[in-house]
Structure 1
Amino acid sequence: MIDHDILSEEERDALSEVMLQANCESPQRVLIVDDDSDARELLAEILGLNDISCLTASGGDSAMHLLRTRQSIGLLITDLRMAPCDGLDLIRRVRESDRAELPIIIVSGDANVRDAIDAMHLSVVDFLLKPLNTKHLVKLVKRELGMS
């Protein structure tokens, strides 16, 4: 049998050890919720390129499941317009859960003043309009996660 592995067994063990140590330090992750898979993946890629670890969810139910099972989530970024559970509904659910203190950023391509007022009453960190200023978003995310 031909072995095509690039890493030796020792190198693989060393890499596993480093990855375990990194996971033990538990870098906080961002949960991105958007029913548009392209927008969701693009945002995850932008943040990932800035050394920000992300998880993604396509809607409120999967987001709530991840929030219950992944304590490493330190920030939620949600789209406003989603079906069947929109971003404001998701935020209300989070605020009523044991993750009520989680910082939340809303992004939206279609918002009105009423939405912004409702969001502020739900104590969101910021309400950003699409197209996003990615430099501002990355700076905001890093600040909320306590990254320099």
Structure 2
Amino acid sequence: MARVLIVDDSSLIRQEVSQFLSQQGLQTLTAADGNEGLQQLRSQRDIGLVICDVNMPGLDGLSMAEKTRNELGCHTPIIMLTTENCPKMKARGKAAGVRGWIVKPFNGPATIGAIRSLLGQ
């Protein structure tokens, strides 16, 4: 079963999203920033989806998405979960292969269909 990687510098958000997805029968991994997220993608071959914040210290989410595609050659679907709603950021994300953009707060019931679809379920 493919796992969902949750990348956010807020431990509360990581916990909230992970708990909701676990209740839906999905397995999750977490990372506290884009660098940890990239490391998880390098080492865990069964990641089927990434849910990622944009604004994080170290490596931000959009840069992580770009590195995921350009450096790792990885095409795992990525959904941004962020407070940002700027069209310029969305365009940058789309260019990096981001498949969805969710504005916080996280609403699990409203997003589970899209999450399952991207996981091929």
Provide the TM-score with structure 2 as the length reference.
0.93
Q: 1:110 Cα deviation (Å)?
A: 2.8
SS of the equivalent of 1:131 reads coil
Match of 1:86 in 2: 60
Q: 2:7 aligns with which of 14, 29, 33?
A: 33
How far apart in 1 are the matches of 2:91 and 2:109?
A: 25
**Higher relative contact order, structure no. (Cα contacts within 8 Å, ≥ 6 residues apart):** 2
Letter in 2 for 1:65: Q
Whether the 8 Å contact between 1:32 and 1:44 is mirrored in structure 2 is: yes
Match of 1:61 in 2: 35
Match of 1:20 in 2: none
How far apart in 2 are the matches of 1:133 and 1:42?
A: 10
Q: Deviations over 1:68-87 (max 9, x none)?
A: 11101011110011112111
How far apart in 1 are the matches of 2:90 and 2:74?
A: 19
CA RMSD of aligned residues (A): 1.2
| Structure ID, larger Rg | 1
Structure that is richer in strand per residue:
2
Judge which range, 93-102 or 59-68, deviates more. 93-102
The number of residues matched between the two structures is 121
Unaligned runs of 5+ in 1: 1-26
Q: 1:108 aligns with which of 82, 86, 89?
A: 82
Q: 1:119 aligns with which of 68, 74, 93?
A: 93
Unaligned runs of 5+ in 2: none
Letter in 2 for 1:127: W
